[in-house]
Chains A and B, each alone.
Chain A
């Protein structure tokens, strides 16, 4: 307090801050990155533990033993699927009914905004089949969900078989306190979205579906099962959901605990756990796992069928069986026992899963980084923006004036007017124009696909993606056009005000993003903060322009694609990477319109205009 109340000391402090600003910013950046990389170092992380009492100490003895029969049911399902050329609805209804479930179906249809070339679908029409196991003496208030997608081709038949096997086994047990819904959804995420919207009677994405006939109260937790082989070597847990939402950490803990108990190899991000954290390769492994999680979370798309549950405050995860041809083999019975154990523990829940963390990063399944540990990494980066805004303001005599005796008599309003009067128009114009570009980037690609297809020899998907890239690139020409709109020359004051606005805008934007989706906020901060911190009209333009384009949101996305492929141990060539980049853009746009993913509007409506403001500063005349 004394530091700030004393005018002399305050001046000294501001002088110190302005003089040491650049070194401080550099230190902050390095410290932020170092902190982030340190998160994967095992001694700095916490060991996972089960927080929920109801799932912790109770003993469960798994007795499921009908794995072979489940696989046979899976084969039967495969045969009927092939015959029906899609979801064998009638067979599935009969199969579930004979296992003593209340069976219902839901049909849905959806026309995509443009054809999805990855999954080769445009007009989607399908049927979900679900059976409800009613718990004895339970009043239909709570439910658990086990789902298996009915994928095209020969994949995932074993999952449906195991689901039916588990349904039959669960039906004979007396201990259920919650209804269990066994769901087979067609067209993976689209079917799941239709079912969830039908169950909660909401319509967020304009899909048409028939209303559900049977319900089982509020869903407490859900597991999605994906198995494609009879014999699997390891089980992979997928947590990342829509918009970077994660389920409660206890769900991951539960999975890990049962994997340990039953002796199944379990992975996260497809990576096994290693114990040699003190070696370089061990640390490297942990960093890779964590980075994969960060990249997946930042993408904001659901990475499994579970991802859509999270919007409804239902804790959900996907369990994926992987056959990596290791020596160690696990059969369907073991997977069934694992699921049985998990469901019995979830059945014991007295409250919703809420005890453990909702915000975390996992460098391995047994270690986690909680929000309290990873937030400083971002804060250090965000601090740079605040420091820079301080110096900009200082240069404008905005903040420091308060300390000087001369300005002490003036009231704040007059100061702002005096300072910003040369550049109200010069600041407002770029802000408006860059946002209009953002709006164009958001709306035009989908709207103009037909025109593009008519005039260019491209498919709809290509048209959308290429239009997006074209608008994005056209935005780079903005500074010149902005100046044409402006009446006079931009002043020194003008760009400083613009920079102050841009930097504060970015700080607020990144801060909010990081609170919702830390990974996205951090990745954006990593690339945008240096740009925002050091861009002025007085730096060498060509070099800086090149660097800025490299660090723009679009190129960040491209870079992320390459890094992701590298981390997945499936490196791609430049051309493949570019194609992948194009498909990522189309997927992003589709995710937005199909499931309500927010990454595309965030990038096009907010982050890109913000970056354009900085681009404007570089070309300030």
Chain B
């Protein structure tokens, strides 16, 4: 793989990467840092963020800080009391806005804060969410968000001066007229049954999907060039994306930013399930951050720990968002996320205890000076009375958010203030479990699974199982399957069955493959009955490849990328009958819109399929050679046996022939 990875393209675009040095704190460090800090000091207004994704729509309330940090118990109780008040505030004041893709809730404080001073043209936020998982593992999710109020496509004005936004990506946006770009690199498979839903799901390997501006004429050409450029920027084999693994989904991948262009001609989607993600992909990813890995949360991103985990996923999302409430002009948002799950068994040495230092072998000492907000959240929802684990240092700040249809409570550490660092000037969050028993497997509301059935190398069957574990609600899902051309799908064998009864999809979009040109694309909208398993099966035949088309390791098998299940899942908050305990009655009769359903994308596992492979070794050559020899031998033998032999007159000499010609001219019979 390394040989591919360091492809020629990489060399070509190394220049581009080197070129993209931005205003990092190296050059005018003191100046910028001081300025930012002072900005933050007198700017208490939170950032207005209308079009953020659902998953991190955080409604945050600052509880009053207790003056005496020696009594964490009383502090927690006090803060508990205080949420209720703020929660009412949130529920009644929440002004639900946003589009259907990502319904959002506004920050609660935004309503009662003074009109904010004009925000800077670009700003950077960083946050880390730590979620102790039910299995005892721990999930850490980093989010870095750079927003820039600029327009890359303004007529006659070229964007040349970059501050926080990485220049390499800005240039890519301008050059290829991108509307949205989503790229993710994932090593490992997210175990929904053990870990629940991730904040941002991604399939194993590399995934890239791009919406181009509708001004682009040659989308395929731009896509080809773009993949090569990104291959250089992210040091990955994205240059292996070509027409045989690119599709244009009609429904599954809608734009996440502003604008309502939904013409799939400008969408390209590709997955490389075989891509292996490692440090060489992490380093260029870190370089895109304004502080690099020098300060702020990014100091925790040490590859030797990140790749010593059960799951690693990093992604870059670029999209246009609204600049203000009226949405008169758009800003560009670059969101870099990195999710990692640490394994309790292998790194915990059977002591269920977590700390930042144990996870990342670093502690936090400061926020990124360029960041307007820098926060660490720890999910303490299941630990409201401290029965599951102890969290030190305790923090008085709590926050509630509806994440993935579930109301979660978080402890918040604001790194822009000096409190969390304490006297040691470093923050090392410690999480000590009180129980040692591993929990049972979860039953996530939506869950997908896929496998190849059958044996032998001629035919097979792809089974996709979609679980709806909701006890009483049916909901529709969009299933996208992208199958390479060398598995020839028999689309007439497509069956969709739930509870052993046929379940007719209400929408099917099928694009047949063309050998060596494009893959199969199958999209369908299926209604999942409550508490059911829906099985989608389709048979296929394995194609015989040309001998040059086999990979160098043909006996490893060929990958088929994950299928994608996108759905609006009914929220568990609405399912929760005990909500009256925590919330006043008048606030909880009608489920709020954003709580009634949430958007989830689930990826199934990729498949490894064996194709009929010739034995590329000596016996194979021997067989070929022998067959040739036998064919030649048999041919001549057969010839000899079937042909009748006759004694042929010796051909007349030249003189005789000449004489005959003369005789024929004379009209005399020949000799």
Contacts and interface: CB of A to CB of B under 8 A. Distances in A.
B453 A134 contact: no
B586 interface: no
Interface stretch (A41-49, A74-82, A137-145, A234-242): A137-145
Contacts of A102: 191, 193-194, 441
Contact of A139 (B188, B344, B455): B188
A137 B555 contact: no
A202 B553 contact: no
Given A141-B608, A202-B453, A354-B555, A402 B188 contact: no
Given A102-B441, A350-B556, A408 B194 contact: no
A138 B188 contact: yes
A162 to B, nearest CB: 19
Nearest to A199: B451
Contact of B438 (A97, A215, A218): A97
Given A5-B640, A201-B463, A218 B455 contact: no
Contacts of B187: 137
A494 B440 CA distance: 76
Contacts of A214: 193
Interface residues of A, number: 36
Given A350-B553, A351-B556, A218 B641 contact: no
A284 B605 CA distance: 53
A173 interface: yes
Contact of A100 (B438, B559, B637): B438
Interface of B: 187-189, 191, 193-194, 204-205, 273, 307-312, 343-346, 350, 438, 440-441, 449, 451-457, 461, 463, 553-557, 559, 605-610, 615, 617, 636-637, 640-641, 644-645
Nearest to A314: B455
Contacts of B555: 351-352, 354
Nearest to A136: B310
A1 B636 contact: yes
B193 A139 contact: no
Contacts of B454: 200-202
A136 B640 contact: no
10 contacts: A1-B636, A5-B645, A139-B189, A139-B205, A139-B606, A140-B606, A201-B454, A217-B451, A217-B607, A351-B553
A312 interface: yes
Nearest to A351: B555
B637 A134 contact: no
A140 B189 contact: yes
B346 A173 contact: yes
A490 to B, nearest CB: 32
A202 B456 CA distance: 11
A121 interface: no
A4 interface: yes
Interface centre among A4, A140, A312 (most CB of B within 10 A): A140
Given A139-B605, A352-B610, A201 B191 contact: no
B557 A137 contact: no
A137 to B, nearest CB: 4
Contact of A137 (B309, B461, B607, B617): B309
Contacts of B350: 172
Interface string A534-568: 00000000000000000000000000000000000
B556 A352 contact: yes
Given A100-B344, A137-B309, A201-B454, 6 more contacts: A137-B307, A138-B188, A140-B189, A201-B461, A202-B455, A218-B610
A69 interface: no
Given A172-B345, A202-B454, A137 B640 contact: no
B201 to A, nearest CB: 13
Contacts of A142: 608
Interface of A: 1, 4-5, 97-98, 100, 102, 134, 136-142, 171-174, 200-202, 214-215, 217-218, 311-313, 350-352, 354-355, 402, 408
B343 A136 contact: yes
A312 B441 CA distance: 30
Contacts of B463: 201
A4 B556 contact: no
B110 to A, nearest CB: 40
Given A98-B438, A136-B310, A139-B606, A311 B556 contact: no
A4 B639 CA distance: 11
A427 B165 CA distance: 90
A352 B557 contact: yes
Contacts of B456: 313
A402 B640 CA distance: 11
A402 B638 CA distance: 12
A314 to B, nearest CB: 9
Given A200-B453, A352-B555, A352-B556, A218 B608 contact: yes
A411 B22 CA distance: 90
Contacts of B554: 351
B591 to A, nearest CB: 31
B577 to A, nearest CB: 28
Given A98-B438, A202-B454, A312-B455, A4 B641 contact: yes
Contacts of B457: 313
Nearest to A171: B345
Contacts of A312: 455
A138 B346 CA distance: 15
Contacts of A172: 345-346, 350
Contact of B605 (A5, A98, A141, A202): A141
A289 to B, nearest CB: 26
Kindly list the 7 A-B residue pairs having the minimum CB-CB distance in the complex, ordered from nearest: A139-B204, A201-B453, A137-B188, A351-B555, A141-B608, A140-B605, A137-B187
B188 A136 contact: yes
Nearest to A143: B608
A49 to B, nearest CB: 15
A71 B345 CA distance: 22
Contact of A200 (B455, B557, B640): B455
Contacts of A202: 453-455
A308 to B, nearest CB: 11
A411 to B, nearest CB: 10
B55 to A, nearest CB: 22
A102 B205 CA distance: 23
A355 B617 CA distance: 9
A5 B191 CA distance: 73
A204 to B, nearest CB: 9
A342 to B, nearest CB: 20
A553 to B, nearest CB: 29
B352 to A, nearest CB: 12
